[in-house]
Chains A and B, each alone.
Chain A
Amino acid sequence: MSTTVPVKAQNVAAEKPNPEFVQLLNAEGTRLSDDTYDPWVSDVTGDQLASLYEDLIIVRRIDTEATALQRQGELGLWPPLFGQEAAQVGSARTLRPDDFVFSSYRENAVAYCRGVALQDLVRVWRGTAASGWDPFSVGMATPAVIIGAQTLHATGYAVGCKNDGVDSVAVAYFGDGATSEGDVSEAMIFAASFNAPVIFFCQNNQWAISEPVGLQAQRPIAERAPGFGIPSIRVDGNDVLAVMAATRSALDRARNGGGPTFIEAVTYRRGPHTTSDDPSRYVDPVVAKEWEARDPIARVEAFLRSEGILTDELAASIQSRADQVAAEFRHGCISLQNPEPLSVFDNVYATEHSGIARQKSQYKAYLEGFEK
């Protein structure tokens, strides 16, 4: 049975760099020049690139560990970001503390870069809390699970920043599937109407669970934003340097009153949507192999080695640091305690609601009826 849905149209540009597709570090680790985007990363030293490389290694290690924890029954679910490390680290590392992120549930590397504690990354997935962290302490809202809802929140926050006269920027992270949701289109309309300092950061990881991006978009997703009056950039999402350059240019535009920018980071989700699904049912192994060759970490490693920055000794020390983070992460996860029963009633409202108060006191009396 054939399908009328084009499933490969979105991969093409990743194979052929062109002026509309920003790439500064190709899959082989060769530094490419780009007149427009080079200036945005001209200050990035070899050591700083090595630091980004360490981030990539660590977030992948966290991801691997979380997947293992799920398999061992310690987490109810986990949404892996395997393959998307550069898109998340490259963008998140360019933000200021006073910028604010509104993400989906897959941006664990963004959360790590924002300073979210390791233990806090898994509270939701272990089921011990409705959210992991205080949004205001890290400048990142707790993830939205309803697809695309957060793009509107980012737009509203950005309008607030503008009205407050500050140059903070809101960043909305979402996937290619989210671009089919009405909320994302509405967010772009509102952002354009109010010239909001917001960045729409779309990680086109080619999949919405099992549905290929071709089912969501007949043209490259970055082409959609100009129709809303929003300039867009299509960037190699597996190139941490290019992502950084694209995000910096968008941040600069937003901070200087230029309004919203749409970034499409073309990447690939190399694992499942979550630990519940089975990509072998829908992924073509040949295509998966092609994307393996475009891995975001391998190219930085090749570049750093060719420059003599990454030595075996440094690589070993980074690996050791990643192992240490993974151990801390595991310990943090399994030491999480179940919440108290009556806390189910907490924080439904900011002020007392007589209906909740009544149910709470009744359930408390009921629990107290059991012998300790």
Chain B
Amino acid sequence: MTELTLAKALGSGLRRALSDDEKVVLLGEDIGKLGGVFRVTDGLQRDFGTERVMDTPLAEAGIIGMAVGLAFRGYRPVCEIQFDGFIYPGFDQIVAQVAKLHYRTAGNVRMPLTIRVPYGGGIGAVEHHSESPEAYFAHTAGLRVVTCSTPQDAHSMLREAIASDDPVLFFEPKRRYWTKGDVDEDAVGLPMGTARVVVEGTDVTLVTYGPLVATALDAAEAAANEGISVEVVDLRSLSPVDFDTVSASVQKTGRLVITHEASESGGLGAEIAATLTDRCFYYLEAAPVRITGFDVPYPPAKLEEHFLPDLDRILDGVDRALGRVNSLTGWSA
């Protein structure tokens, strides 16, 4: 067991994957000598060489498209997209090629790509550096979409993603890169596609993932001080969503709050609210509540505190789910 930051835990996951399987190759912009702009790949090119850790030209479609060809050749490429907002130039290769090739070829061609994407806000960045584009990919059949919230999960989920025979969009919560935690490099994590109940509770189920798991835990602690018992579920997997775990929790608590940084409309929260309403209609004491980023482009850094769900907005959502006095009290539906 070693204490590592989440970024270092990802780096150690990549190192293990490179050591364990010679078909694993890394490619991306600035991942070599620089070690990536967040230093996640620090030292890997030095230790594994330029054929295994490839600095590429600055072109996202090129990175993903070349990885597709490497996968045809039997490699397991791990692509680094430098920032969330830069993934769009590679979008066609991801959703039209990577996602569909296994289906298109009747299972003959496997696409064991891992596409790493530092995502989310809260670091005071400029535009295109704080986005949460996960819903685009969760909407696309053929892709698995996951995100981590702890150093241990970062390490084991990344190794699991690389070992997966399916393509995985691996979203890394960049504002949690410096969060420290114990990491057991030999631990076998929860299977891909499963959620985790982080804190048990009885009054409200609070579903979240990635960067907001820590915020949700703070909110649950604050709620506990007011005598409200909040169960926090870390989804971990956004495609598929582990609806069994979420349903079991909602059947216990009867109330559901979902929070994510991505904009509300068409987001994961909508999917979870709809599915849980379907599956747990007779258990629900109140309509599911969503606490999300607004339906606006990610705002300038000096406004992001208003855009990002924080502890107080989440608690306000908990109040709404419980029918307590809240920001909407007095509004007519």
Q: Contact size class for B? A: 35 or more
A157 pairs with B240, CB closer than 8 A: no
Whether A225 is near chain B, meaning CB under 8 Å from some CB there, is no
Interface pick from A53-61, A128-136, A278-286, A294-302: A128-136
Q: Which residue of B lies closest to A183 (CB)?
A: B61
In the complex, how many angstroms separate the beta carbon of B292 from the nearest chain A beta carbon?
A: 21
Whether B108 is near chain A, meaning CB under 8 Å from some CB there, is yes
Q: Which residue of A lies closest to B92 (CB)?
A: A146
Are A131 and B166 CB-contacts (below 8 A) given A156-B73, A159-B66, A354-B240? Answer: no
Whether B122 is near chain A, meaning CB under 8 Å from some CB there, is no
In the complex, how many angstroms separate the beta carbon of B100 from the nearest chain A beta carbon?
A: 8
Question: B70 contacts which chain A residues (CB < 8 A)?
Answer: 156-157, 159-160
Question: A354 contacts which chain B residues (CB < 8 A)?
Answer: 193, 240, 242-244
Contact of A186 among B59, B68, B193, B239 (CB under 8 A): B59
Contact of B105 among A142, A164, A190, A355 (CB under 8 A): A142
For residues 145 through 189 of chain B, which have their beta carbon under 8 Å from a beta carbon of chain A?
A: 164-166
Convert A330-369 into 0s and 1s, putting 1 for each residue whose CB lies closer than 8 angstroms to a CB of B: 0000000000000000111111011110000000000000
Whether B74 is near chain A, meaning CB under 8 Å from some CB there, is yes
B66 pairs with A355, CB closer than 8 A: no
Convert B290-330 into 0s and 1s, putting 1 for each residue whose CB lies closer than 8 angstroms to a CB of A: 00000000000000000000000000000000000000000
Whether B88 is near chain A, meaning CB under 8 Å from some CB there, is no
A353 pairs with B73, CB closer than 8 A: no
Convert A148-190 into 0s and 1s, putting 1 for each residue whose CB lies closer than 8 angstroms to a CB of B: 0101111111111101100000100000000000110011011
A152 pairs with B68, CB closer than 8 A: yes
**In the bound complex, what is the Cα–Cα distance between A348 and B140 (angstroms)?**
10
Question: A200 contacts which chain B residues (CB < 8 A)?
Answer: none
**In the bound complex, what is the Cα–Cα distance between A160 and B193 (angstroms)?**
30
Question: A353 contacts which chain B residues (CB < 8 A)?
Answer: 144, 166, 193, 239-240
Question: B241 contacts which chain A residues (CB < 8 A)?
Answer: 355
A135 pairs with B109, CB closer than 8 A: yes
In the complex, how many angstroms separate the beta carbon of B322 from the nearest chain A beta carbon?
A: 30
Whether A102 is near chain B, meaning CB under 8 Å from some CB there, is yes
Whether B67 is near chain A, meaning CB under 8 Å from some CB there, is yes
A149 pairs with B93, CB closer than 8 A: yes
Whether B83 is near chain A, meaning CB under 8 Å from some CB there, is no
In the complex, how many angstroms separate the beta carbon of A15 from the nearest chain B beta carbon?
A: 36
Q: Which residue of B lies closest to A170 (CB)?
A: B69
In the complex, how many angstroms separate the beta carbon of A351 from the nearest chain B beta carbon?
A: 6
Question: A152 contacts which chain B residues (CB < 8 A)?
Answer: 61-62, 64-66, 68-69, 93
**In the bound complex, what is the Cα–Cα distance between A152 and B70 (angstroms)?**
10
Whether A268 is near chain B, meaning CB under 8 Å from some CB there, is no
Question: A186 contacts which chain B residues (CB < 8 A)?
Answer: 57, 59, 61-62, 65
Top 5 nearest A-B pairs (CB, nearest first) are A156-B69, A152-B65, A160-B73, A156-B66, A186-B62
Q: List 16 A-B contacts (CB under 8 A).
A: A102-B69, A153-B66, A156-B65, A156-B68, A159-B70, A160-B75, A163-B51, A186-B57, A186-B59, A190-B56, A193-B56, A194-B54, A346-B107, A349-B102, A350-B107, A351-B164
A interface with B by C-beta (< 8 Å): 100, 102, 129-131, 134-136, 141-142, 144, 146, 149, 151-161, 163-164, 170, 182-183, 186-187, 189-190, 193-194, 346-351, 353-356
Q: A154-B69, A160-B70 given. 9 additional CB < 8 A pairs?
A: A100-B72, A129-B106, A130-B103, A136-B109, A153-B69, A163-B51, A190-B66, A346-B106, A353-B166
B interface with A by C-beta (< 8 Å): 25, 51, 54, 56-57, 59, 61-62, 64-75, 77, 89, 92-93, 96-97, 100, 102-110, 112, 141-142, 144, 164-166, 193, 239-244
